[in-house]
Amino acid sequence: MKYKLSFNLQNYKNYINILFFSTLGLSIFGCVMIFSVTSHTNNFIFFKKQIIAIIIGLLFCVLAYNFNLNLLKKLTYPLMIFGFILLISVFFFPARNGAHRWIKIPFFGNFQPSELIKVILVLFIAKYVDSHRSKIINYAKPLWILIVTVFIFCFLIMLQPDIGTPLLIITVLILTLFVSSFNIKKNTFLKIFSLFLIILILGIFSKPYRIARLKAMLNPWQYKATVGYQLIQSYLSLARGHFIGCGLGNGIFKEYYLPEAHTDFIFCMIGEELGFVGTTGVILVYTLICFLGLSIAYICCVNFKNFYGGLIVFGLTLNIVLQAYISIAMTVGLLPTKGIGLPFVSYGGSSIIVNFLSVGLILSIWRRSYK
């Protein structure tokens, strides 16, 4: 029996407002948490920078909301070239903590190109699949051109080194092909997935510290003095929060025990200070964003026949929510520890700006489709 989803388009107009204010609310909540987490240092530089990043992000959101999508489609390949140059240029800047991931921009600070690449590749995948949908079949040339192109960008990011972002990009690619290219058989999907899985495994085992993190995920107490330390402190901070937490500003793990509490492990601080209620609320907001984004993608493709726009919304939504779920899974020990923060919540100017840019594009696609 086949089921057909039906939507009230008037309600969808209201859902867009909910989507925007959900992301804005998360960013404001993130500022509150960053202020709380860094308050013991009496240095509010992170809080101030995050506010500036949100303002810049909102400006980009407005620009994206009013941008001509036909022009954006034409600019996709120039943006790909621009992104490729950015990924190459990071290796000409000094490394930070052993990684070449940032570009120093005068009067702005450090910018992480891989954040922008996630959006550019979504635009590329959407345009390419939309243009070659009838040709993307088993082992056809267009299919492998798409795969190889995405792999080149993933490879450059892995050299930085960064394994988390390529994993996210690959997942978005596979899911986009799954929902759009009906001529590709399941066996072909499995082979594509296996190919990327092999590449990722090689990437993991090429660095000893990645193997150590994988072992620590399975038994952090065995490595409590080294790679398992951060994960153990994450467990303890979450446990201390109980149901309603110890209160904003009253967390102790941020002071002495948990490194990077305002970035990759901010979810643990939410758990300690706001408890199960706070962490559940955050997860529910991301789930709401996921539902709204995927629903908008569906309605664009089915009701408005805007396949290109629907794929963009689908990919951008996955960029945000998959990163959120991966970050949460990492902090509770379901995935190896990795430098992946909570979208809109963790400290990070590049992430905030790019995520608001993504929201602006989603709003723009819906507005133009709805008209």
Confidence at residue 3, expressed as pLDDT on a 0 to 100 scale: 41
Task: Judge whether 353 lies within some domain.
Answer: yes
Residue 185 has pLDDT above 80, yes or no: no
**Apex 340 CA angle, 289 and 191, nearest 5:** 80
State pTM to two decimals.
Answer: 0.91
Helix segments in the chain, DSSP class H: 9-38, 45-65, 69-74, 76-89, 113-131, 141-158, 164-180, 186-205, 208-218, 229-241, 253-256, 266-302, 307-331, 349-370
- Taking residues 15-20, report their average pLDDT: 87
Among 170, 185, 206, give the residue marking a domain's end. 206
CA 14 to chain centre: 25
Are 335 and 194 contained in the same domain? Answer: no
CB 319 within 8 A of CB 311: no
The model's pLDDT over 282-341, given as tens digits with 9 standing for 90+, comes to 999 999 999 999 999 988 888 778 889 999 999 999 999 999 999 999 999 888 888 788
Confidence at residue 139, expressed as pLDDT on a 0 to 100 scale: 58
CB 170 within 8 A of CB 150: yes
Split into its structural domains, the chain has a count of 2
Helix (H, G, I), strand (E, B) or coil at 103: strand
Are 343 and 367 contained in the same domain? Answer: yes
- Domain containing 55 equals 31-66+215-371
Instruction: Report the C-alpha dihedral over residues 30, 32, 37, 42, rounded to 10 degrees.
Output: 130
Tally the residues of the chain: 371
Give the whole-number percent of the chain exceeding pLDDT 90: 42
Task: Judge whether 71 lies within some domain.
Answer: no
